[in-house]
Structure 1
Amino acid sequence: MAMSVKKDKRKATSYSDWMSQLPDKLHNIPLYDLAIPGSHDSMSYDLDINSSIIEPDRLKRLSKIYCARKIVRKWATTQEETITKQLDAGVRYFDLRIARKARDRNPTRLYFYHGLYTRTDVETVLKVISDWAERHPKEILILALSNFKGFDKAIGAQLHQHLIGFIVTLFGAKLIHIRDLLTLRSCWDKGRNVIVSYDYPTTQHGEIWSKIPYFYGNTMNTTKLESKLRHILETARPVQYFFVCGLNLTLPEDFRILQYILRLCDNLANVIRRGLPRLLQWVKRQAAKTPVNIVASDLVTSDDFVPTVIELNALKSVSA
């Protein structure tokens, strides 16, 4: 990757092709042994202020009130840059939560969501990702599709069938199969660079992966988050499989949420900015003790998140 040296400190100027520029000895280790930057609620930069509230449940009935939707968006926006800019910045794992709008005239049109629906539909964004993957054939992308709100019994199976069919057709030969040897070198040799993790049974599709475990603290307290993730990494980390260490802060689902959303001069992005530097320091210390794989965060294009995670591979390079 392009580097400049200033005052004896390495500083990256581009991470758009960082995987292809890793040391040769890392090209042949399993992908689940690499440290990979990930994006939590990747599409939340695109939330539609005019959509109905999809979560939390307590606020759904307030969907017609503009001020309520504005508050939800303020506390649900965890990313500030587009998918393309996240990719260019070096992010390689994407948390994509899918939903169907009730009463949508197009029965198979889907959106992303986090509190509100996104403005852009799923197929449009996946095409953008596919185009980027075509231009960067040595960068391995991991797309984690989950949640599937609005996939009720009457139409759920049809929606899954449609979405999976679209994915298989769109990415085609770029899809890494479940049985493929999982190293950078093997993926490059086969010309494959997209993994799709799908949180719904799809045994008939060998190119669609099952859900990747995502561990997070479920708290707004950075100390508690660190403690929980440390316990998981030291006792329950999956072996020989992808796993996500989520640095994201999580708003409470009960009445305690009011202590945050009623702050008129604050928002989730500001809370994240105050806590992320500490969490990144913790990740560096923890990675020296226990292996990490995908590290996901909010605001992935700020606070040195991407370079911090990528540089953890230097530890793996020494031991490889």
Structure 2
Amino acid sequence: MAMSKQGKRRREVTSYCDWMSQLPPELHNRSLFMLAIPGSHDSMSYDLDINSSILEPARLKILSKICCARRTVNRWAVTQEETIAKQLDAGVRYFDMRIARKPNDTNPTRLFFYHGLYTRTDVETVLKVIHDWAEKHPKEIIILALSHFKEMEERLHIHLIKFIKTLFGARLFLNTEVPTLKICWDKGRNIIVSYDYPAIHHIELWSKITYFYGNSMDPTKVESVLRQALEKSRPSNCFFVCGLNLTLPEDVRILRYILRLCDNLKKVIQRSLPRLLQWVKEQAARTPVNIVASDLVTRDDFVPSIIKLNIHKS
């Protein structure tokens, strides 16, 4: 009995900053497609610029010059509270990063992230932060999902990809091999970049990662859609995301939410996340999960709960 308890303690992750290196040895040769990996949805939304123009929803674009409209969008667009570095320290290893170019920017190649509004910090600055963190934590595999490119001409894709390849260099895991922890460690490659732009083909870049989400503000509907996707549509030989995030309506129904003066998306998420997290624990016992992404990833024991799903697999 004492030996059993000691073995169990050895399997527990004690530092979420370096949790991958603490996984049981029997998981080191397992495909990353089969591990449970905590991820953040709209990862850069903590950095939204209240003074920027509105990108979405489309119905509010014409109100960009009105401060209260921008503030309303901001209240319902912020899904994360901590910086990328702090999310990494907390154990997040997948990042949903949506990129756009600001109109009339004096810098012809500068890009920003966005979610409703543009971010204050540009793309290259944030990628450098991730690079520096990856250097200090060589056994932690980071997955970057770059997508939703707005106002980006071909030349900007070429510039961004060149920057990514130069910055991360030999740390980029190529799309020609199935990643496992051991292979990544042996090769010294701990950055995987998914680039959702079909016209681009580079062995250093991975194609779009399937993202399942409920497309609803109702946790019951989110659970139902995700359950069906995990039971019928999940892939077995590539990354896929189970998104616990809530989604605002794109039609006039959005007014039911954004006109609530004393509410915001973070409060709604905080009320629903414990329930969704309990659901994914129960669902993972029936169907495999891979990346599990959420809003407010540093709250409600999200990261530890997802990582523990791996211990149950070993």
Q: Which residue of 1 aligns with 2:210?
A: 213
- 1:190 correspondence with 2:191: no
Structure 1 position 303 matched with structure 2 position 300: yes
Q: 2:115 matched to 1:114?
A: yes
Aligned counterparts of 2:309 and 2:179: Cα–Cα separation in 1:
19
Q: C-alpha offsets along residues 202-252 of structure 1, whole Å, 9 cap, x if unaligned?
A: 654111000000010000000000000000000010121100000000000
Deviation readout 1:257-276 (Å, 9 max, x if unpaired): 01100111110000000000
SS in 2 for 1:169: helix
Is 2:20 aligned against 1:19? yes
Q: In the alignment, which residue of structure 2 is the partner of 1:84?
A: 85
CA distance in 1, matches of 2:13, 2:141: 19
Q: What is the one-letter code of the residue matched to 2:203?
A: G
Paired residue for 2:6? none
Question: Using the alignment, how far apart are the partners of 1:315 and 1:238 within structure 2?
Answer: 21
> Which position in structure 2 is the counterpart of 1:235?
232
The alignment-based identity, stated in percent, is 74
Q: 1:222 maps to which residue? A: 219
Q: How does 1:1-320 map to 2 (within 5 A)?
A: 14-151=15-152, 156-201=153-198, 204-317=201-314
Question: 2:189 and 2:40 mapped to 1: Cα distance?
Answer: 21
Offset from partner CA, 1:26-83 (integer Å, 9 cap, x none): 0000000000000000000000000000100000000000000001000000000000
1:180 Cα deviation (Å)?
2.4
Q: Is 1:181–1:187's contact at 8 Å kept on the other side of the alignment?
A: no
Counterpart Cα distance in 2 of 1:266 and 1:291: 35
**Unaligned regions of 5+ residues in structure 1, if any?**
1-7
Letter in 1 for 2:232: T
Residue identity in the other structure for 1:138: K
TM-score by length of 1: 0.93
Is the CA contact 2:13–2:22 (under 8 Å) kept in the aligned structure 1?
Answer: no
- Partner of residue 5, structure 1: none
For the 8 Å contact 1:202–1:208, the answer to whether it is kept is no
RMSD: 1.5
Q: Secondary structure at the match of 1:118?
A: strand
Task: Give, in whole Å, the separation in 1 of the partners of 2:109 and 2:144.
Answer: 20
Q: What is the SS of the residue equivalent to 2:96?
A: strand
Measure, in 1, the Cα distance between the counterparts of 2:178 and 2:217.
38
| 2:288 alignment partner, SS class | coil
Match in the other structure for 1:4: none
Structure 2 SS opposite 1:29:
coil
Q: 1:160 to 1:44 in 2, by over 3 A?
A: same
Shift of 1:107: 1.2
8 Å contact kept, 1:142–1:196: yes
Quote the offset at 1:105 in angstroms: 1.1
How far is 1:12 from its partner? 6.2
Contact 1:47 1:117 in 2 (8 A): yes
2:112 maps to amino acid: Y
Amino acid at match of 1:71: T
Closer, same or farther in 2 for the Cα pair 1:29/1:229, shift >3 Å?
Answer: same
Deviation at 1:25, TM superposition (A): 0.2
Q: Give the superposition deviation at 1:181.
A: 3.5
Q: Is the 8 A contact 2:23 2:311 kept in 1?
A: no
Deviation at 1:14, TM superposition (A): 2.9
The amino acid that maps onto 1:69 is R
Aligned-pair CA distance for 1:201: 2.7
Residues 213, 243 of structure 1: 8 Å contact kept: yes
**Count of matched residue pairs:** 306
Decide whether the 8 Å contact of 2:214 with 2:243 is kept in 1. yes
* 1:59 counterpart SS class: helix
In 2, the alpha carbon distance for the partners of 1:100 and 1:207 equals 23
Q: Is residue 46–residue 81 contact of structure 2 (8 Å, CA) maintained in 1?
A: yes
Unaligned 5+ segments in structure 2 are: 1-8
Match of 2:70, SS?
Answer: helix
Counterpart AA for 1:101: K
